[in-house]
Structure 1
Amino acid sequence: MNDEELLTAAAKGDAAAVRDALQAGASLEARDGRGRTALLLAAAADHVETAEVLVKAGADPDARDHRGDSAFLVTGMTGGVAMLRALLPARPDPSQANRDGDVALIPACERGHAGYVRAVLETGVEVDHANRHGRTGLLEAITAGDGSRPYREIVELLIGAGADVNRADRDGVPPLRHALDRGQREIADLLRAAGAR
């Protein structure tokens, strides 16, 4: 019963109840029916204080659920900078990839989470990692984005982190061509200034 109480409390963001469940003997790495740990549940709902309690207790930020997601990976989807920072003391593996081959950087680029991209680049995540579709964070920021300010900021951050501005997708289309095809002129200018062809 303690395990169930722990998972429920984590999903709700009830840090005090999480502490109580752990003190009562709940397993730190207990999983729900979908393979999610308490830390993954807390991270997915952006319950930072709860995650901090679990990290301090030694929870694994890289434990995967049935879909291949982990607490660290899910922060790339939510864009939670505070959650990312809460997980760092647990030393998550920035090279871990989800079922689509995405490291945490890639969904953040796709969704326009510029603040998160800035933070996750400090973890040592590979800036040119390509997913199963052959797309890097830079390609996702262009193809999934609309050229608006958050996406321009992401492109600038990636260029500043040394992203290969000429790395094409698996169809051989480079970032500059994608930007031009989508009318993203300011992003195209950023790419050209960084040596894109």
Structure 2
Amino acid sequence: MNLPLHEACMSNNLRKAQEIFNDSPQDLYQKDADGRIPLHWAVSFQSEEIVSFLLLKMVDVSVDNYKDESGWTPFHIACAVGNLYIVTNLYERHEKPDLNLPTNQGVTALHLAVSKKHTKICEFLLEKGASVRVKDKRSQLPLHRAAAIGSTSMVDLLCKAGSPINTSDAEGWTPLFHALAEGHGDVAVLLVQHGADPDLETSDGSKAVDFAVNDEVKKYFLRNIS
């Protein structure tokens, strides 16, 4: 189905978006096949002027009420994309988005920003009160993701914000397991410095070091925590 306002948002055509809205203001909340309203796409394509225009027409409307088929709101998308200007615009409203609102997979805005290594977005979310303790449907905290992608800055940020460090996910893995399994020895050492327990075991008695991607990472880790 052809949805002109959605297309104008995707093509970052502000004038066209304004014309369409003036002719058909009801299109502002029309959903496409993905369950997305125009704002979803304006955010996704980082059409900053269009985002600002649409938000002016959505006064006293909570973006949390507009989830797509995956449970993503425009705020989730903004945090995944990493555009601080748009994230701030979406947040600084009378009806502020719920920073801990989960998607269908239990993922929060912080999970998404961490996964994409958007440090500035993570700092913004934490400053505004986002929780570091929310688990997704795999029982993973944002810290699990930060460890898996090998981001020392993100791990440091989350640990200093009070993230649980020795929490296991659905596989029985703490963030330390993920760091070593992905070959991030420096992140693994940093986690131990923040309080990660290298002696924690899975149900079969394995420790995090047993999952180190290779001997080089294993030796580096053991040498630097001794």
TM-score clears 0.5: yes
* Structure 1 alignment gaps of length 5 or more: none
Deviation at residue 68 of structure 1 after TM alignment: 1.8
Deviation at residue 43 of structure 1 after TM alignment: 0.9
| Equivalence for 2:105 | 100
Q: How far apart in 1 are the matches of 2:71 and 2:177?
A: 32
Amino acid at match of 1:5: P
Deviation at residue 131 of structure 1 after TM alignment: 0.5
3-state SS in 1 of match to 2:21: helix
Higher relative contact order (CA closer than 8 Å, sequence separation 6+): 1
Report which stretch shifted further, 35-44 or 25-34.
25-34
Asked if 1:190 is matched to 2:190, the reply is: yes
Asked if 1:68 is matched to 2:65, the reply is: no
Deviation at residue 186 of structure 1 after TM alignment: 2.1
| Equivalence for 2:210 | none
Q: How far apart in 2 are the matches of 1:121 and 1:16?
A: 36
2:128 to 103, 106, 123: 123
Q: How far apart in 2 are the matches of 1:175 and 1:65?
A: 30
| Equivalence for 1:56 | 56
C-alpha contact 2:40 2:73 (8 A) present in aligned 1: yes
C-alpha contact 1:76 1:106 (8 A) present in aligned 2: no
1:12-46 Cα shifts (integer Å, max 9, x gaps): 22223323333334222122232211111111111
Q: How far apart in 2 are the matches of 1:77 and 1:88?
A: 15
3-state SS in 1 of match to 2:29: coil
Amino acid at match of 1:189: V
Residue pairs, 1:137-176, within 5 angstroms:
137-143=142-148, 145=149, 147=150, 151-176=151-176
C-alpha contact 1:102 1:130 (8 A) present in aligned 2: yes
C-alpha contact 1:6 1:38 (8 A) present in aligned 2: yes
Q: How far apart in 2 are the matches of 1:104 and 1:47?
A: 19
Deviation at residue 60 of structure 1 after TM alignment: 4.1
Amino acid at match of 1:46: Q
Amino acid at match of 2:127: E
| Equivalence for 1:16 | 15
With over 3 angstroms needed to count, the CA separation of the structure-2 counterparts of 1:182 and 1:25, relative to structure 1, is closer
Amino acid at match of 2:119: A
Report the TM-score when normalising by structure 2.
Answer: 0.76
C-alpha contact 1:40 1:61 (8 A) present in aligned 2: no
Q: Give the ranges of 4+ consecutive aligned residues of structure 1 lying more than 4 Å apart after TM superposition.
A: none
Higher Cα Rg, which structure: 2
Amino acid at match of 2:13: D
C-alpha contact 2:167 2:175 (8 A) present in aligned 1: yes
C-alpha contact 1:6 1:26 (8 A) present in aligned 2: no
Q: How far apart in 2 are the matches of 1:94 and 1:100?
A: 15
C-alpha contact 1:10 1:18 (8 A) present in aligned 2: yes
